[in-house]
Chains A and B, each alone.
Chain A
């Protein structure tokens, strides 16, 4: 048994060492896998804020993931084809600058989360799960049947977008970008969790009545958390699109929402590094089990079932001592 903090440090060390090793050994695909894990982790960190801290079981976070992806796809495809995004009333050009794309992705998915959250948060429990799922599906079908940006075919962006001073096509440099963003978001979310906002959010999760009776507007509190959560997942979506240089409606599918939830459960709900560990383990399972058998989903299902039924607290919960919440 180790303290959770040390465990987190070890996870971070691995996220540095494994890609470094891959560079030395010239195994770029390992870096690609690590990048994928880091991006999924980021999406999971976003959902974990709503789900873990806030107790808001969103089964539709694919909507923000996809929104981030399409923010990248649309901006970059316009830049690629030299067609302005809109000309009336003023000209907006596409762009292939990552920071601009991130900003747009964050704002767009935050707005979407504001809209969906404002409606969904009127419900609770299973209704909330289902209504968020339904909103996700709504966007899935919309992107499939809307022809402007490729419909089900999606959009291919032939070159990765640019980041000033870096060669983003070099796997390790792109990994670096994603990793630094993950670190920044983890730092921010950690501060957030300890802030009055985080205290209230988790407090309202533990006992809504109590939060209300000390004068906290729980609806607004949750809505803000939901928006931040969606924005983070949206940023992950933009990075994911850049990793694949491709976006498609699949990013909106309910399977993606389920996967993001799986990362959190695997790693440990409401734990800062839960989604990070969960995403990394999921990617490894996918990679190695996929090599084992054509029917590898059976094994994945069994493992998942086992974790849910018997390993409360996920992998981090299993490996670390119980630490008091908000210690310090």
Chain B
């Protein structure tokens, strides 16, 4: 696709006899929220890991911003601008909210090997961190230790940390999980704004949320993408209804 930010081509990955990714191709284009759905064990996390860099595909390639990143590490992809949030919050739980955001800024600025200047007094790092916290509405919670945050706040912080990277694309693993209806709605609104800065590849279990916010949906079943299309197309796709929504095939 011409304006594809992230493109996955023919990825294959096996664990022993199990084929977790069986020739998957996928595109994330500018300005969209692209949801990836599929039943448990379909190979969603394996695919996400290969896109993010934690796992190397047996064959196939991943390109990001027009560059082949298949051989690049997680950290390298992150520095190229791949922002990520996790299903189970991946945050430094003993750090304060601000420290977590500064950690993101440190990674973004490449100042990891500065040994002497205090990170928490560095104006550039602080400014970047606070900007991200402002975006998600955590600006009044800077000094709270992360482990004391509510579930929803942790989700927000995850997004904020990803924002410090000024990503070119987001990879979000079940961001709605465990959020109440109200929280989900707010997050949906926020993601709708965010997608104009950087497109979002969203893995989500909550179908209502997916149908509410996704521009396109890909359905992964047994390591293969059986359908990609708009919400309506996916809703009405008989194959999807059978494989995923669990309906009997009309006789």
Contact = CB atoms under 8 A, between A and B. Distances in A.
A215 B75 contact: yes
B237 interface: no
A27 B52 CA distance: 63
Contacts of A206: 91-95
B79 A195 contact: no
B112 A196 contact: yes
Interface in A206-221: 206-207, 209-218, 221
B106 A200 contact: yes
Interface stretch (A62-70, A232-240, A320-328): A320-328
B107 A324 contact: no
Given A195-B116, A196-B119, A324-B145, A214 B164 contact: yes
A219 to B, nearest CB: 9
Interface residues of A, number: 29
Interface string A302-328: 000000000000000000000011101
B86 interface: yes
Which of A209, A215, A221, A224 neighbours the largest number of chain B CB atoms within 10 Å of its CB? A215
Contact of A191 (B91, B116, B145): B116
Given A212-B75, A214-B164, A216-B112, A196 B90 contact: no
Interface in B133-180: 143, 145, 161-162, 164-165
A197 B112 contact: yes
Contacts of B162: 213
Contacts of A218: 75
A218 B54 CA distance: 13
B90 A210 contact: yes
A196 B106 contact: yes
A195 B92 contact: no
Contact of B103 (A191, A194, A209, A211): A211
Given A216-B106, A217-B75, A326-B120, A203 B165 contact: no
B74 interface: yes
A307 B38 CA distance: 49
Given A326-B99, A328-B120, A197 B115 contact: yes
Interface string A32-74: 0000000000000000000000000000000000000000000
A198 interface: yes
A324 B114 contact: no
Interface residues of B, number: 47
A192 interface: yes
Which of B75, B86, B125, B143 neighbours the largest number of chain A CB atoms within 10 Å of its CB? B75
B114 A196 contact: yes
A305 to B, nearest CB: 26
A143 interface: no
Contacts of B164: 214
A129 interface: no
Contact of B73 (A191, A202, A217): A217
A199 interface: yes
B96 interface: yes
B102 interface: yes
A209 B122 contact: no
Nearest to A228: B115
A304 to B, nearest CB: 25
A129 to B, nearest CB: 22
Contact of B92 (A192, A202, A221): A202
A199 to B, nearest CB: 4
A221 B95 contact: no
B15 interface: no
B74 A213 contact: yes
B123 interface: no
Contact of B90 (A202, A209, A324): A209
Contacts of A202: 92, 95
B111 interface: yes
B95 A194 contact: no
Nearest to A213: B84
5 interchain residue pairs of minimum CB distance: A214-B107, A215-B78, A215-B79, A206-B92, A215-B107
Interface of B: 52-54, 73-76, 78-79, 83-84, 86, 90-96, 99-100, 102-104, 106-120, 122, 125, 143, 145, 161-162, 164-165
19 contacts: A194-B120, A195-B116, A195-B117, A195-B119, A196-B111, A196-B114, A196-B125, A197-B113, A197-B114, A199-B119, A200-B103, A210-B90, A213-B78, A213-B84, A213-B90, A214-B107, A215-B75, A215-B78, A328-B118
Interface of A: 191-192, 194-200, 202-203, 206-207, 209-218, 221, 224, 324-326, 328
